[in-house]
Amino acid sequence: MEYRQAWDFQVKLADAVRSGQEPNTLLLLEHPPVYTRGRLSKPEHILLSADELEARGIAVHEADRGGQVTFHGPGQLVGYPVIDVRAWGGPLKYVRTLEQIIVATLADFGIIAGVIDGITGVWAGEAKIAAIGVKISRGVAYHGFAINVNTDLSYFDYIVPCGIEDLSVTSMAQILSQRVEMDTVQYSLTYQFGKAMGFRMVESERALLG
């Protein structure tokens, strides 16, 4: 799904969740190649010119989430929880819980991962394997996280990921030396998400809100 299409959908869904018309929802998808700039990003953190970006087929979007510049693309599992956090525990608890959900998901595949104090996201050794950036508007969170599953990591060569110079980035496929089935990762993530958030997860194939 195109990044802007997914973003617009989240905003509509957030309104519906806020009003009680829709339940808390976890969207799982992949994007075509795109660089997104969070609220703290700097223009120089994308190292390619506009012409070079166009030649490589990479879109750029300014996002209202936290964090800085990151990449989304095929082979990366993007999760957008649209969640009413007003009675759940607040922004910091929510972000820390997302990190632990990803750590637990990676553990299901034998990958040891963790967090680094002061830097949002999840790391495998000294390399970042998942990024997190959320927006909370009137008590409802959207945007979310991205796990590098079978991602082409060369796209990270042209940005300063998360504003960190010389940041190493890795993927599940790189660590395991084999391609990883995305459906299996989605299944594990959904289970760990429900367990950590205290939600009963119900799969739903749904059309975009009109």
Phi and psi of 112, rounded to 5°? -85, 120
HSE at residue 44, side-chain half, CA atoms within 13 A, is 2
The answer to whether 162 is a known catalytic residue is yes
Structure tokens at 103: 């750590």
Structure tokens at 63: 């996002």
- Active-site residue, from 162, 175, 189, 197: 162
Instruction: Evaluate whether 66 touches 135 at the Cβ level (below 8 Å).
Output: yes
CB atoms within 10 A of CB 23: 14
Question: Smallest Cα–Cα separation from 77: which of 155, 183, 177?
Answer: 183
Residues designated as active site: 162
